[in-house]
Homo-oligomer: A and B are copies of this chain.
Amino acid sequence: MSVPDAENSSRKLRSDGERSRKRILETAADLATTIGLGGLSIGELARATGMSKGGIAAHFASKQLLQLATIDMALSIFQREVLDPAFRTSPGVPRLLSICEHDLSYIRRRVFPGGCFFSAVAAEFCNRAGSVKNRIAEASKVWLGLLETTIREAVELGQLRNDTDPEQLAFELNGLIVSANFEYMLHEEPTPLDRAEHAINRAVDARRTIQHGA
C-alpha cells in the first residue's frame, strides 16, 4: 500500500523539518542575547548549530522573518520557564511574587546565556522602527499587562490596598528586574538580583492590607 507509506514519509519529513527549525531557533534565541538579534546571520547559525548554511536558509525567507520567529521561540521558552510555573500559584499576591521570583530565577539560571532575552532585544531594537521593534513592544505590553492584571486581582481579593495603582506598581516591579538583569550581566555578580528581590517584596508588602514587615 503506497499511499500510507507516502503519508508516513511526508509526516517524517515534516517532523524532521520542525525539529531542525526548532533547533535553529533555540540557538538563535541564545545568540540574540550575546551577539544581538541584529547580529544573527545564516553563517553564524550554521557555525553554532553545525548545520549547513543551505539547510538553515531553507527555513527562513528573510532575516526579518528569522528575527520574528526567534522572538516567538523566546516567548515560548519564557512561558515554560516563568509563566507556567508561576501561574500554578494561587491568584493575587502569591502569584505576583511567584512571577517576579521565577523571572529573577530565569535570569540567574541563565536560561539564555546573556540574561533576559526581552530586555536584551528591547534595548537593541527600541530605536529601530519596523516590525521587529513592534513585536518586541507588543511583548513588553503583554508582560506589563499581565503584571497589572495580577496586581488588580490582588486588590480585588482584598490582599493589596484599594489605592494601589496597578500600572505604577507593575512599572516599578518590572524596573527592578530589568535593571537587575543588566547589572548582573555587566558586573558578573548576583547582588543586583538579591537587591531586586528584596525591593520587590518591600514594594508589595508596603501595599498589603495587612502589613507583613515593611
Contact = CB atoms under 8 A, between A and B. Distances in A.
A167 B192 CA distance: 10
Given A119-B123, A123-B119, A127-B114, A199 B172 contact: yes
Contact of A186 (B126, B175, B179, B198): B126
Interface residues of A, number: 41
Interface in A53-111: none
A154 interface: no
Given A36-B36, A171-B183, 16 more contacts: A33-B127, A34-B128, A36-B38, A114-B126, A122-B186, A123-B182, A124-B124, A126-B186, A140-B183, A140-B187, A168-B195, A175-B180, A175-B196, A175-B199, A178-B179, A206-B206
A126 B185 contact: yes
Contacts of A128: 34
A120 interface: yes
A133 interface: yes
A176 interface: yes
A168 B183 CA distance: 13
A133 B172 contact: no
Copies in the complex: 2
A196 B206 CA distance: 18
Interface in A111-151: 113-115, 119-120, 122-124, 126-128, 133, 136-137, 140-141
Contacts of A123: 119-120, 123-124, 182
A179 B168 contact: no
A185 B140 contact: no
A2 to B, nearest CB: 53
A174 interface: yes
Interface string A183-214: 10111000010011011000000100000000
A137 B185 CA distance: 10
Given A175-B176, A178-B179, A179-B171, A137 B195 contact: no
